[in-house]
Structure 1
Amino acid sequence: MRAHPHPADQMTPVERKKALEEGRDFDRYPAVPFMSEFKCLFTGIGVWDFWHDPVKMAEAELRVFERFGQDRIVIGPNTRGIAEALGAEYVYPENGVPYAGRPKLSDYGMLEGMEPVDAKSNPRIRDFARAAELLMEAAGEIVPVEASIGGPFTLAANLRGVELLLRDLRKCPLEVQKTLRLITDSQKSCIDMAAEYGLGIAMADPVANPMLVGPKIYEEFVFPYTKELTDYAFYKTGKKVSLHMCGKTNSIWKYLAKYELNEISLDNIVDLEEAAKDLGRFVPIAGNVDPVEVMLNGTADEIREAVARCIGMGEKAEKGYTLTTGCDIPETTRPEQVDVFMDAAREYSRNCHL
């Protein structure tokens, strides 16, 4: 199976991205509904296979792109895959979203026996490397493909447990820093893997939400590692990172502005117009149609209205705009809802001029 340009578009996603980067006219704003396990229900591919079988991973992505023509394909290893490569356990239900089992890092003394993930040899990461190879061969000339590497703080929460990690920030901060160093080096190895296949990098760090940790914690425990990773990814791949942050992030915009970003994707609770005018002076903005109230439960008219409203606000971003959902759409979202989202993106941003 090979990717083909979507018949409703004048440009392929690769052509559109290049036009934007070169300051040329483009047919519409890039549009990326975050779909995650929705792809399983849509394709009939099981959750386990979607995360473990490289052929099934590639098949799912290609079938979803064939239907919707979104502007990016994103595969793992994600937070989950890297955590598993470091020894964590996850539960993969027959339907629904996988979730963490018992935390791996029950005692920080365990760090002494742990090494960063080597993406060249780790069997868990090699699953995603094979999927990357298949997708770049089938779709790389049509649509950008990115490898998600999660976020360092969220990975730490998956290894230690969220509540314990938050407590440890006060009780044993040096051990937290050692954990973050191990994780960051593991992520850098995954970036090396992505660069080998010509992929870009995506990141999402939901536990680093400043509504949960606060801006001071973000500055000390999140910013240095995320800056290191975004700089490294740009150096290794030649492509800037797509970063998603959950929650109301206004208090950390000064940090987000310093990353090498293809876009900063914002939660639907963020005022997109404010973000476009403020943060959009420094980095491209993405967002932020409500994934539940609008994408899952909304009418077709409500989806179209939300898309038009987001484009109207987002296009004010000086550094550029991508239409996205505010987070992953629920896996039970009807495919027709995504059709409306993409059709509206084409309708409300046709023939764009810079």
Structure 2
Amino acid sequence: MISREELLSLKDEMTPRERSEALARGEAVDRIPLCPILGETMGPLFGIWPREHNHNAELMTQVEVGMYREFGVDGAGIGTGLRGVAEAMGVELVYPEKAVSYVKEPLVKTEADVAKLKPCDPEKDGRLPIILKALDMINAEVGAEVGVSTDMAGPLTVVAQIMEPSLMLRWMVKKPDLVHEILHVVTESNKRFIDSACKRGYAVGFSDPLASQSLLSVKMFREFVKPYLAECIEEIKKWRGNEGINLHICGKSSGIWNDMADLGINTLSIDNVDSLAECREKVGDRACLVGNVPPVDALRMGDPEMIINYCIHDMAQAWDNPGGYVLSTGCQIPIGTPRINVEAFMYAGRKYGAGYKYPKFRKDENDHTWASKHIEDPLEGQK
């Protein structure tokens, strides 16, 4: 068994900003970018549980800065979560002390409720002002070293917090005009938060679990998801151009990868149920790929050796992706994940992702020192 002393023995030689800038110049870097999906669920590692974390910008900052300082991840920031925009629009949430929030009662139960919906004001409604304050505080602490960004739920996922998901799915078939009406209001709310974040200088990404092929057909994705995500992304581009836009969709998404790339995103993040190798073959020349170590089976329930093997496996699948690659998890790491398992993830990237260089800048297969190219995939044929 690998010792904790060994896991902590490798140190970064560059800050995340230095690493990102060097990659953009076509240079090899100390290691591959490492961005496990963390957030409020990591608060307990710093003695901070979700309920207090969600309502306190200082505690949000403490956790984010702590994760960057301790683990060295290649990003920092606070997102709205799946329910932040819905809450700002009037949805009441329940905040358990030691678990993530959930909807107490939906806003939309009948057709008459749809007309009552109004876009939120992110500068004053719900917890969005707290999130914006935390972003500024995080940026003041570590922004010189690491990029600070925010993440928000895609429009359809917000709709599923405003009304029961089962009712939403029924209306998508029987009353699609009503769902589109709700989506227009939600998209306006999202765009207002985008404006608030972008004018402060922060990149904005999206998590859209309700857009998954585990729930929707490709046809439904193209009708109820793609146009509204496109509208949000165009709002970002007004502020930042085509820079720093990430899209993560949980569950199966292989049938919509081209649609996701059509949106003009920079990074495409996939769940661990899908194959990085397949994604590389389909859209690897259109986006930087992100993923996809299992957050539950590996990070939460596994041991350091298992996590290291999964990391090597994923790097072996995507190290040569034409658009670049970021080693990450397939979704957010859950509450209760041992600290040593996050350390193992970072160790694997530092050891086996050393010398990474964007493929488009490589003169030939020997024009870099990336370690995992030269080692056997321990999970080949298993995952």
- Aligned mate of 1:233, from 236, 251, 257: 236
Deviation at 1:283, TM superposition (A): 0.9
* 1:254 paired residue number: 258
Secondary structure, in 3 states, of the residue corresponding to 1:323?
strand
Letter in 1 for 2:87: E
The answer (yes or no) to whether the contact 1:234–1:240 under 8 Å persists in 2 is no
Deviation at 1:7, TM superposition (A): 8.2
- Aligned mate of 2:319, from 315, 322, 336: 315
1:231 and 1:259 map into 2 onto residues whose CA distance is 9
The answer (yes or no) to whether the contact 1:150–1:205 under 8 Å persists in 2 is yes
Range moving further from structure 2, 81-90 or 92-101:
92-101
2:16 and 2:263 map into 1 onto residues whose CA distance is 23
Task: Spell out structure 1 runs of 4+ moving beyond 3 A.
Answer: none
Secondary structure, in 3 states, of the residue corresponding to 1:211?
coil
Deviation at 1:186, TM superposition (A): 0.6
1:195 and 1:329 map into 2 onto residues whose CA distance is 26
Letter in 1 for 2:323: K
2:226 and 2:330 map into 1 onto residues whose CA distance is 22
2:186 and 2:212 map into 1 onto residues whose CA distance is 18
Secondary structure, in 3 states, of the residue corresponding to 1:76?
coil
* TM-score in terms of structure 1 length: 0.94
CA deviation vs aligned residue, 1:76-134 (integer Å, no higher than 9, x gap): 22332111000112211111222222111122323333321122333531111111111
The answer (yes or no) to whether the contact 1:194–1:201 under 8 Å persists in 2 is yes
Letter in 2 for 1:248: K
Number of aligned residue pairs:
349
* TM-score in terms of structure 2 length: 0.87
- Aligned mate of 1:351, from 352, 355, 358: 355
Question: Could you tell me the percent identity over the aligned residues?
Answer: 32
CA deviation vs aligned residue, 1:259-305 (integer Å, no higher than 9, x gap): 22231111001011111122111111001001111112222211111
Letter in 2 for 1:242: N
Deviation at 1:53, TM superposition (A): 0.8
1:141 and 1:15 map into 2 onto residues whose CA distance is 10
CA distance 1:95–1:132, change in 2 (3 Å): same
2:124 and 2:99 map into 1 onto residues whose CA distance is 30
* 1:18 paired residue number: 21
1:125 and 1:36 map into 2 onto residues whose CA distance is 16
Q: Is 1:126–2:129 an aligned residue pair?
A: yes
Deviation at 1:240, TM superposition (A): 2.9
Matches within 5 A, 1:82-231: 82-231=85-234
Structure 2, gaps ≥5 residues long: 1-8, 359-383
Secondary structure, in 3 states, of the residue corresponding to 1:117?
coil
Q: Is 1:59–2:62 an aligned residue pair?
A: yes
1:39 and 1:337 map into 2 onto residues whose CA distance is 12
Q: Is 1:35–2:38 an aligned residue pair?
A: yes
Deviation at 1:177, TM superposition (A): 0.4
* 2:361 paired residue number: none
Name the structure where helix makes up a greater proportion of residues: 1
